[in-house]
Amino acid sequence: MNAKHKIALMMAAGFALHAAAIQGLPAQANPSAYFIAEINVSDPEAYAKEFLPLAMKAIRDAGAKSLARDGKTVSMEGVPPPSSVLVLLFESLDKAVAWWNSPATRDAFAVGERYATFHEFAVEGVPPTVVQVPQIQNSRWKSLWERFVY
């Protein structure tokens, strides 16, 4: 295989990879959302027995992913972190709000508020970035590309 064919083949492979990557971007048009809860548990036994099973089912049913739960926390500045921190990932802010307003979640937190105090909020993530492919300016490469594609 001569050098021109190798270059054309590499360009075709790059184009195919780029096209495949771009196909996945429209599905990611909406930024994801993060639900963050700071939780001060007053009765750990009852909290674990009565609240957690209800809350975890509501979270699973909503399709959320747990990114952090009861892990080690470090205070960088200000008030030390509460006894428990939860970070959930949702597909969108709308889905996070729908989960929060669902009967299952409201029922779970009605139970949880007997054993803990909560500070919860959701934040929208940064939208995905689309990388623009530069136009081919070099006439030699451009003509090679046009011969290969057309």
Q: State mean pLDDT over 20-46.
A: 78
pLDDT tens digit sequence for 70-115: 888 888 888 887 788 999 999 999 999 999 999 999 999 999 999 9
Assess whether 84 and 21 both reside in one domain. Answer: no
Assess whether 47 and 109 both reside in one domain. Answer: yes
Check residue 131 and give its pLDDT. Answer: 46
Q: Which residue has the tokens 């083949």?
A: 9
Domain span at 62:
31-124
Assess whether 118 and 53 both reside in one domain. Answer: yes
Contact 123, 73 (CB under 8 A): no
Check residue 16 and give its pLDDT. Answer: 47
- Which pTM value belongs to this model? 0.65
Total number of domains in the chain? 2
Q: Is the pLDDT of residue 11 over 80?
A: no
Contact 36, 96 (CB under 8 A): no
Check residue 78 and give its pLDDT. Answer: 86
What six digits make up the tokens of 137? 């300016």
Query: Does the residue 138 lie in any domain?
Result: no
Q: Is the pLDDT of residue 150 over 50?
A: no
Percent of the chain with pLDDT over 90: 52
Query: Does the residue 3 lie in any domain?
Result: yes
CATH code assigned at 84: 3.30.70.100
Assess whether 6 and 44 both reside in one domain. Answer: no
In this structure, the number of other CB atoms found within 10 A of the CB of residue 105 comes to: 19
What six digits make up the tokens of 46? 């009852």
